[in-house]
Amino acid sequence: MDRLASATRWLFDSEHGAIDRFVPRWLFLRALGCIYFSAFFSLVFQIRGLIGPEGILPANEYLYAVVHSFGYSRGIWFAPTLLWLSSGPNMLIALCWVGMGASLLLALNAWPRRMLVICFVCFLSFVSAAQDFSGYQSDGMLLEAGFIALFFAPSGFRPGFGIASPPSRASLLLLQWEWFRIYFESGVAKIIGGDPEWRHFTAMDEYYQNGPLPTWIAWYVQHLPHWFHASSAFATLALELGLVWMLFLPRRWRLLCFLIVTPWELGIILTANYTFLNYLVLTLGFLLLDDRFLLCFFPQRWKKFVVAEATPKQSEVQSSGSVLRRCRIARLSVTSFVLGWIFYATTAELIWMFSTIPLPTGPVAALEPFRIANRYGLFGIMTRGRYEIEFQGSADGKIWVAYPFRYKPQDLSAPPGIYAPYQPRFDWNLWFASLGSWQDYPIVPNTEVRLLSNNSDVLNLFRSNPFPNKPPHEVRVVIWQYWFTTMSEKRATGLWWRRQFLGLYAPTIARDPDWHDSWHRRSHGWSTRVNAGAITATSVFSASHPRQRRLRGMIAAHAMHASTWWSGRGANIDIARRCDDRGHISRRSDLRPIPQGAAPGFAGLFTVDLPLTVKTGQEFNIVVRRISKRLPPIPQGPPLHRFLIALHSPDAPY
The pLDDT of residue 224 is: 97
As a three-state string, the secondary structure of 589-632 is: EEEEECCCCCCCCEEEEEEEEECCCCCCCCEEEEEEEECCCCCC
The H or E element containing residue 129 is helix 112-129
| Cα-based distances in Å from 401 to 398, 449, 465, 597 | 10, 16, 10, 28
Total residue count of the chain as it appears in this document: 654
Q: Are 192 and 353 in contact (CB under 8 A)?
A: yes
The pLDDT of residue 17 is: 87
The pLDDT of residue 329 is: 86
The pLDDT of residue 4 is: 82
Q: Rounded to an integer, what distance in angstroms lies between the CA atom of residue 326 and that of residue 647?
A: 74
The SS3 assignment for 186 reads helix
The H or E element containing residue 651 is none
pLDDT, the chain, mean: 80
Percentage with pLDDT > 70 across the chain? 75
Count helices and strands in the chain by DSSP H and E runs: 24, 12
Mean pLDDT of the region 73-100:
95
pLDDT exceeds cutoff 80 at 200:
yes
CATH code for the part of the protein at 514-654: 2.60.40
The pLDDT of residue 304 is: 67
The pLDDT of residue 512 is: 60
Least confident of 322-336, 485-499, 640-654: 640-654
The SS3 assignment for 574 reads strand
What are the domain boundaries of the chain?
21-370, 385-511, 514-654
The pLDDT of residue 356 is: 86
pLDDT exceeds cutoff 60 at 165:
yes
Q: Which one has a higher pLDDT value, 290 or 535?
A: 290
Query: Edge-to-edge, what's the strand order for the sheet holding 540-545?
Result: 540-545, 548-556, 602-610
Q: Rounded to an integer, what distance in angstroms lies between the CA atom of residue 647 and that of residue 650?
A: 9
Instruction: Calculate the CA dihedral of residues 149, 153, 158, 164 and round it to 10 degrees.
Output: 180
Among residues 107, 105, 114, the alpha carbon closest in space to that of 150 is found at 114
Q: Are 92 and 460 in contact (CB under 8 A)?
A: no
Cα of 235 vs its chain's centroid, Å: 28
pLDDT, tens digit, 9 for 90 and up, residues 296-340: 888 777 666 665 444 444 444 444 567 788 888 889 999 999 999
| Number of other residues whose CB lies within 10 A of the CB of residue 315 | 9
| Cα-based distances in Å from 598 to 74, 170, 385, 453, 456 | 22, 43, 29, 16, 18
Mean pLDDT of the region 360-370:
94
pLDDT, tens digit, 9 for 90 and up, residues 452-484: 999 999 999 999 999 999 999 999 999 999 999
Beta bridge partners of 619: 646
| Number of other residues whose CB lies within 10 A of the CB of residue 505 | 23
| Cα-based distances in Å from 546 to 68, 187, 549, 582, 616 | 39, 43, 8, 22, 16
Mean pLDDT of the region 15-31:
93
The pLDDT of residue 540 is: 28
Contacts of 333 (CB under 8 A, 6+ apart): none
The pLDDT of residue 305 is: 64
The pLDDT of residue 72 is: 87
Which amino acid belongs to residue 261? V
Q: What is the pTM of this model?
A: 0.80
Q: How would residue 7 be classed by pLDDT, with cut points 50, 70 and 90?
A: confident
Mean pLDDT of the region 535-539:
31
The DSSP-derived string for 360-385 is --HHHHHHGGGT-S----TTSS---S
Mean pLDDT of the region 362-372:
94
Q: Rounded to an integer, what distance in angstroms lies between the CA atom of residue 524 and that of residue 71?
A: 34
The pLDDT of residue 321 is: 63
> Taking the alpha carbons of 275, 279, 280, 282 in that order, is the dihedral positive or negative?
positive
The pLDDT of residue 307 is: 59
pLDDT exceeds cutoff 90 at 654:
no
Q: Are 607 and 551 in contact (CB under 8 A)?
A: yes
Most confident of 516-520, 558-562, 594-598: 594-598
Residue 404 burial by CB count (10 A; 0-12/13-18/19+): exposed, middle or buried?
middle
The pLDDT of residue 5 is: 81
Would you give the DSSP letter of residue 76?
H
pLDDT, tens digit, 9 for 90 and up, residues 271-287: 999 999 999 999 999 99
> Taking the alpha carbons of 150, 156, 157, 161 in that order, is the dihedral positive or negative?
negative
pLDDT exceeds cutoff 60 at 212:
yes
Q: Are 146 and 123 in contact (CB under 8 A)?
A: yes
pLDDT, tens digit, 9 for 90 and up, residues 285-308: 999 999 999 998 887 776 666 654
Mean pLDDT of the region 243-265:
97
Q: Rounded to an integer, what distance in angstroms lies between the CA atom of residue 203 and that of residue 232?
A: 9
Among residues 90, 558, 86, 169, the alpha carbon closest in space to that of 335 is found at 169
Q: Are 234 and 411 in contact (CB under 8 A)?
A: no
pLDDT exceeds cutoff 90 at 133:
yes
Q: Are 389 and 444 in contact (CB under 8 A)?
A: yes
pLDDT, tens digit, 9 for 90 and up, residues 388-442: 999 999 999 899 999 999 999 999 999 999 999 999 999 999 999 999 988 889 9
pLDDT exceeds cutoff 90 at 189:
yes
The pLDDT of residue 300 is: 76
> Taking the alpha carbons of 49, 422, 375, 231 in that order, is the dihedral positive or negative?
positive
The pLDDT of residue 3 is: 81
Q: Which one has a higher pLDDT value, 109 or 18?
A: 109
